[in-house]
Amino acid sequence: MNSPITSSMSSLLFLFLFSFSLASSASAHTHENFLQCLSHYPNTTSNISQLIYTQANSSYASVLNFSIRNGRFSSPTTPKPLVIITPLQLSHIQAAINCSRKHGMQVRIRSGGHDYEGRSYVSQVPFVVIDLINLRSITVDVDERTAWIESGATIGELYYRIAEKSRTLGFPAGVCPTVGIGGHFSGGGYGTMLRKYGLAADNVIDAHIVDVNGRFLDRQSMGEDLFWAIRGGGGASFGVVLAWKVKLVPVPSTVTVFSVNRTLKQNVTQLVHRWQYVADKVDEDLFLRILLQSLNASGEGKRTIQATFDTLFLGGVDRLIPLMEKSFPELGLTKEDCIEMSWIESTLYFNRFSSGESLDVLLDRTPGFIPFKGKSDYVKEPIPEKGLEGLWEKLHEETAGRAQLLFIPYGGKMAEISESEIPFPHRAGNIYKIHHVVFWEEGDEAAQRHISWIRKLYDYIAPYVSKNPRAAYMNYRDLDIGTNRNGVTSYTESSIWGIKYFKNNFNRLVHVKTMVDPTNFFRHEQSIPPLSSRV
């Protein structure tokens, strides 16, 4: 005879299984209704069903994985989208938005898949991915010095198409050629010409977006508030940005690059310390960054710190050498360290492609697939030598693995643009930005060790970086600094991380969000909230 407790437990188990069965059935029903909605959506001039991939489709895994750029989010336990849509035209995106709203499906928008926390293709609730990989046309107008770029294009494709038309025009976007234009521009987007021309987003002059109601809008019809918000405030909070019009910038026919390595035996601590007083104040034609890593000292059986001074100079070597001798003689740069080339060739150089490599490599959308965790900081006062020495000790730790620090110089044009010009606020007063990153190739257990290490590094460097708020760069997304938790997207919760990315611009972003997406349809763990939102 069953005891009352046993009977009660059996009843609870039955109720749980029955409820789960109902929920699963309802979810499957919603899923089917969503697919039916897509396939019967009016005004689609081509068959959208051929662009829809469900988990039952044989091509689903390859389509999903093709644009996953962080191996940390490719494990079997990572939540997968119920559906991936790869639109070819405007009506396909309108169908995806309207059907998702109608059937309660959450949407993720992916252009290149480089989101540091995988937010363009991962969610903890049932979701759909709108993958813009087919929307990648680029139209360059040399006479007007402008270009229209669809969001699914990559930085490499943009550079290649500019070079097809002109060797004396360029664009101040990032170094990595596989980064998608959609995320890069909407988060700010910086590269080796930021001190001369600012960010990619600073040079956007028009855009096309599909809003929560499925309306197609350009700059004039969306209004200046929304146009302001998508240039550095994260486009995925406001709609699906289809394309961007940018102003191209002049580049000289000859630029100069160099990569000079220095180690502890070559006074690297003193050199890095001195660099902090120079990098943001030199000629705006000069971009001089530092890559720091711990390496085995050649033939000594112990570790050393190597600093690689990586440089793009918008001019010839004969002008660069006197400039370096005046501003940073401690580096000991010689003419033999330098290489003259075209600007487009410099985009290959910064990706460590071999000399003479074809520009066609810029069209390759398949980068490395290694797990990593990244963070960012801004430095307003030089870190003392003692602080740098402590940093070296952290880099030497075994759990650091393949860790790197990038010191990216500011000043120049970056110091001239107002903090409120676009949502990206990190302008005057910043000497440089730090990009902390650690890579690994082992499994989940190793991942936790390396992530724990980078968090401790982040804690260590806290006294030396910006405060109130401790600023961060949105395109180096870091969920450690705060998230919209438990399905709630509130102003209070979101301001914890929002102020770090956007400072006072966060309030205006919330205002824009409230106007254009009051029901918070476009949302994720770090999306801008509308006021009084609870979903």
Active site residues: 476
Q: Residue 322 burial (CB < 10 Å; 0-12/13-18/19+)?
A: exposed
Cα 130 to Cα 79: distance, rounded to the nearest angstrom? 16
Torsion sign across C-alpha atoms 491, 492, 498, 503: positive
3-state secondary structure (DSSP) of residue 218: coil
3-state secondary structure (DSSP) of residue 449: helix
Cβ distance 70 to 478 under 8 Å?
A: no
Cα 67 to Cα 293: distance, rounded to the nearest angstrom? 28
Q: Residue 53 burial (CB < 10 Å; 0-12/13-18/19+)?
A: buried
CA triple 173-199-151, angle to 5 deg: 55
Cα 183 to Cα 526: distance, rounded to the nearest angstrom? 14
Cβ distance 234 to 187 under 8 Å?
A: yes
Token pair listed for 375: 């963070």
Token pair listed for 116: 């540091």
Torsion sign across C-alpha atoms 320, 361, 140, 129: negative
> Could you tell me how many residues make up the chain?
535
| Residue where the block lists tokens 């810029």 | 362
Q: How far is CA 56 from CA 81, 84, 209, 212, 497, in A?
A: 12, 11, 31, 29, 37
Cβ distance 515 to 222 under 8 Å?
A: no
Q: Which helix (H) or strand (E) holds 210?
A: strand 204-210
- Write the DSSP string, 480-522: GG----TT---HHHHHHHHHHHHTTHHHHHHHHHHHH-TT--S
